[in-house]
A and B are shown apart, each in its own frame.
Chain A
Amino acid sequence: AQKVTQAQTEISVVEKEDVTLDCVYETRDTTYYLFWYKQPPSGELVFLIRRNSFDEQNEISGRYSWNFQKSTSSFNFTITASQVVDSAVYFCALSEANRNTDKLIFGTGTRLQVFP
């Protein structure tokens, strides 16, 4: 069965701290895609990154970085030098490519609060 687990329900940090959001996934497929979305208080989901299962290279985009490890079925997200504007709910999601659908399977999200 396909499943995404985000064990951290809520994280609070002080501005400028680094923070890592964990994501563990389950799938039977060998080809799949992983995503992170941000949902700020306004409510609209914002796409952050997509990673396919054949590309295990870590990725860095400004203060954001992602660590994909197939051996542990994890796709963790780190924010360096967090800022108040990073406060949001972050969702990890999985899409399986070997089916007639590319629906996203979301985790339950991690609420990040960054205090000044």
Chain B
Amino acid sequence: GAGVSQTPSNKVTEKGKYVELRCDPISGHTALYWYRQSLGQGPEFLIYFQGTGAADDSGLPNDRFFAVRPEGSVSTLKIQRTERGDSAVYLCASSSHGDGNYEQYFGPGTRLTVT
């Protein structure tokens, strides 16, 4: 079946602009995660959804970052007033359950470059 998909694959934006990154999880997966990976680092957790609700948003770096999952499937990560430091690969993952005992399947990521 289809895996996790993310669009766009690449996004270049100017400092100060607003961007939206989209994630389509594996069909039927209730848990959805966003991570951010900087060059040479491991992925860093941003936010976790169980269904439509954000069960843990402790990883969002500041209030410029926001994510939604209105129907419990597709999720959108929104970044306002982008800064050069936001440049990274944004990864989305989904899991059939949200209790740690199930692996998370990752998408190919969106490479965000803020100029």
Interface positions, chain B 62-115, Cβ under 8 Å from A, are 89, 91, 93, 95, 98-109
In the complex, chain B residues whose CB is within 8 Å of the CB of A106: 42-44
A102 at the interface (CB under 8 A from B): yes
B12 at the interface (CB under 8 A from A): no
- The distance in angstroms between the C-alpha atoms of A90 and B73, with both chains bound, is 29
Q: What's the tally of chain B residues with a CB closer than 8 Å to chain A? A: 30
Q: What's the tally of chain A residues with a CB closer than 8 Å to chain B? A: 28
In the complex, chain A residues whose CB is within 8 Å of the CB of B101: 33, 50, 52, 97
Interface positions, chain A 72-101, Cβ under 8 Å from B, are 91, 93, 95-97, 100-101
- The distance in angstroms between the C-alpha atoms of A107 and B44, with both chains bound, is 9
B59 at the interface (CB under 8 A from A): yes
Q: Does A103 contact B42, Cβ atoms closer than 8 Å?
A: no
Residue-wise, chain B 12-45 has the 8 Å CB interface mask toward A (1 for contact) of 0000000000000000000101010000111111
- The distance in angstroms between the C-alpha atoms of A33 and B48, with both chains bound, is 17
Nearest CB in chain A to that of B46: its residue: A103
In the complex, chain B residues whose CB is within 8 Å of the CB of A97: 99-101
A65 at the interface (CB under 8 A from B): no
15 contacts between A and B (CB under 8 A): A33-B100, A33-B101, A37-B106, A44-B106, A46-B106, A47-B106, A50-B101, A50-B103, A100-B56, A103-B45, A103-B48, A104-B45, A104-B104, A108-B40, A108-B41
